[in-house]
Amino acid sequence: MTETRDHYGLGDFRIGEPPEPTPEYLVRRRIGAALKDITDRMVRCDADVEALEAIAAELEATAAKTGGFGRRSQSAIYQKFFARTASRQDVLDILDYEIFTGRSTPISPPMELWLDGDKVRGKANLGITFQGPPGRVHGGVIAAMLDVLMAKTQDLSGSVGVTGTLNIRYIRATPLKTNIDMEARILRTEGRKLFCEGRFFVNGEQTVHAEGIWIAMAESFRGK
């Protein structure tokens, strides 16, 4: 969990580790959890058309209610990050809606990430909405999760950058509704390039291996 402070810059929070939620974000997380539960339950839901019609009408009415609200400007938030004047609310506006680690987004497993010495570790358990082959996690979902996992190695280097390459070897199928353990580490750095690798394990057996390059926005890495 990111340390809570009064003002934040870009380097003051870790990937996938939002600060403690504000009262607003406690509610947003409840909304995200409810939407996630609905999505999971509706996959091949064995209900008759009348029941489905009622559910559709309720959800459409709820969707219509949200249409009257504006959206906070992401550009304005990042300008505050650059000026090191961003608030805890601003950090939550970004991190809590990250695709796989966000606590408020209904499409997150969620995937938990943390630093452990010179490694990044993580865990997740994916439901049926993430299915590819029967009973298995979709390979594209695995690729996206690896991208997030390996990007977090930047928290070890102090860099802030973007994915350059991501090469994946699928060793065996990764099952749904089963605990997935993850780890990633830095292999080396060359100028602005950070070379790293990531792995998934299920019940101690490796299911995926990946190597990638992240390109830092700055010319140097902290600690070099």
Burial class (CB in 10 A: 0-12, 13-18, 19+), 7: middle
- Mean pLDDT in residue range 71-77: 94
**pLDDT per position as a tens digit, 14-36:** 999 999 999 999 999 999 999 99
Question: pLDDT at position 19, please?
Answer: 92
Average pLDDT, the chain: 93
Greater confidence (218 vs 198) lies with 198
pLDDT at residue 102, rounded to an integer: 96
What pLDDT was estimated at residue 1? Answer: 59
Instruction: Write down the CATH superfamily of domain 109-224.
Output: Hotdog Thioesterase (3.10.129.10)
The percentage of residues in the chain with a pLDDT greater than 70, rounded to a whole number, is: 95
Cβ-contact 167, 150 below 8 angstroms = no
Is the full-model pTM beyond 0.95?
Answer: no
Tell me the pLDDT tens digit for each residue of 76-116: 999 999 899 999 999 999 999 999 999 999 999 989 999 99
- Closest by CA position to 98, among listed 86, 112, 85: 112
The pLDDT of residue 13: 86
Confidence of residue 10 (pLDDT cuts 50, 70, 90): confident
Domain boundaries, the chain: 1-108, 109-224
Cross-strand pairs, 200: 182, 208
**Which parts of 86-212 fold into alpha helices (H)?**
88-95, 139-151, 154-157
What is the reported pLDDT for 6? 76
Check pLDDT > 70 for residue 219: no
Q: Determine how β-strand 193-202 pairs with β-strand 180-190.
A: antiparallel
pLDDT 10s digits, 104-149? 999 999 899 999 999 999 999 999 999 999 999 999 999 999 999 9
